[in-house]
Every structure is written in C-alpha cells, then in structure tokens.
C-alpha cells in the first residue's frame, strides 16, 4: 500500500467522517505523487459523490474550458490533483449545497501536499478555498481576491466557481474571461507541456 493509499484509508476511518460512512459515502478526490497542478474546490456535489468522480457536472465542463484541457488531461492524476475543501458531499442547504466542514482541509490537505512535491500551481476555486489558503492575504470579498490574482502568483491562482449560478457575476466582470482565463490557460499549458516533454 502506497503512502497516498494509507492517507485515503485514514480519511475513510476517521471518526469525524463516521456520518459519511453510514451513508456509504467514500472520499471524492484525486491525488498522485506526480501531480503538477492542484485544484482546490468546495466539496463534491451529489452527482460527483454518487459517481466518485470530482467535477462531474456542468461546473466541471466549464472549469475544463477555462483551463483549456481535455477530460482525459483533467482526470489524469499525474497532471491534476483534484482536492476539494471537503471530500464528502455535505448535503443540501436552503440555498444550494451546504459548505465544507471548517477543519477538514486543515487536517488532511497538508498530509496530501507533503506527498505531492511536484505541485507547481494551486488553483483556488471559490471563496472557501481562497480564505483557507490565502488567509490574511485574501481581500474583502471574492471579486477583489480574484481581481488581485497577480499578487498570488506563481503559487496560487484564485478563480470564481464555474457554477451556472454565477452567470450574473461573469456578466458583470467580463475581465475574468478576457484577461484572467487566457493567463490561466497559458500557465496550465506550460506546466502540462513540461510534464509531457519530461515523460517522452
């Protein structure tokens, strides 16, 4: 059993996840010791939880278009580690899915990152990931944080969530798709190309 497999087993057996085990939920994330880019989202949705496939919804389609990658590339764990703030579907709330548990990422992300020494870029999708990783460097709201993306490079790159519910935000902030998305695609392509060349 690899060290990553051991961490997975620890997550499954963790007492804080006993509620998920009772629902027959398993952790939904993807990680490899060879991964070059880590994508930190919120938590798997119901469809992702049921299919055991991160970003397996329309938001994932949009995210892959922003990244400029194919499904095959996106789900290649040697390229992308898909590590949300919580690895279990949190359930439905009054206004969409419930938020990820507050202490989950703090407990498990460092253990996974330690085993992924080749990560060159961490993409922070949404406010939960940004507040956790950027901490005091995050701005007063998501829009200001994403607008200040250059401050967080080359380690981090904050994005708005690609949910269809954010269409109004995207229409009010056209700079995101005209300015930031091309930079995102360029950085992702350069990292993937380096990876591809190294394996040839």
Residue 154 contacts residue 148 (beta carbons within 8 Å): no
> How far apart (Å, rounded) are the C-alpha atoms in residues 34 and 151?
27
CATH number at residue 158: 3.40.470.10
Q: Which long-range contacts (CB under 8 A, 24 or more apart) does 67-70 make?
A: 67/184, 67/185, 67/188, 68/184, 68/185, 68/188, 68/189, 69/188, 69/192
Compute CA distances 1 → 22, 27, 36, 57, 188, whole Å. 25, 17, 22, 31, 31
Mean pLDDT of the chain: 94
> How far apart (Å, rounded) are the C-alpha atoms in residues 64 and 44?
16
SS (H, E, C) 81-100: EECCCCCCCCCEECCEECCC
Q: What is the pLDDT of residue 56?
A: 92
Q: What is the pLDDT of residue 122?
A: 98
Number of domains in the chain: 1
pLDDT digits (tens, 9 = 90+) for 6-59: 999 999 999 999 999 999 999 999 999 999 999 999 999 999 999 999 999 999
Closest CA to 129 of 112, 154, 146: 146
pLDDT band for 193, please (50, 70, 90 cuts): confident
Average pLDDT over residues 99-121: 97
Which domain does 9 fall in, by range?
A: 3-199
Find where tokens 């990422």 sit. 105
């Amino acid at each position: 059993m690899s060290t990553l497999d051991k961490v997975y087993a620890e997550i499954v057996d963790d007492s804080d996840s006993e509620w998920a085990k009772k629902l027959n939920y398993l952790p939904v994330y993807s990680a490899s010791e060879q991964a070059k880019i880590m994508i930190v989202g919120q938590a798997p949705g119901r469809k992702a939880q049921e299919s055991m496939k991160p970003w397996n919804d329309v938001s994932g389609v949009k995210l892959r278009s922003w990244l400029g990658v194919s499904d095959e590339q996106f789900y290649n764990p040697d390229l992308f580690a898909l590590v949300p703030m919580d690895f279990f579907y949190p359930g439905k709330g009054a206004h969409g899915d419930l938020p990820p548990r507050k202490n989950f990422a703090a407990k498990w992300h460092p253990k996974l990152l330690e085993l992924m020494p080749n990560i060159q870029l961490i993409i922070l999708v949404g406010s939960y990931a940004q507040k956790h990783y950027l901490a005091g460097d995050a701005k007063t709201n998501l829009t200001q944080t994403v607008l200040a993306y250059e401050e967080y490079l080359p380690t981090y790159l904050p994005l708005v969530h690609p949910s269809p519910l954010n269409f109004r935000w995207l229409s009010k902030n056209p700079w995101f798709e005209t300015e930031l998305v091309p930079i995102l695609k360029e950085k992702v392509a350069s990292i993937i190309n380096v990876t591809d060349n190294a394996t040839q």
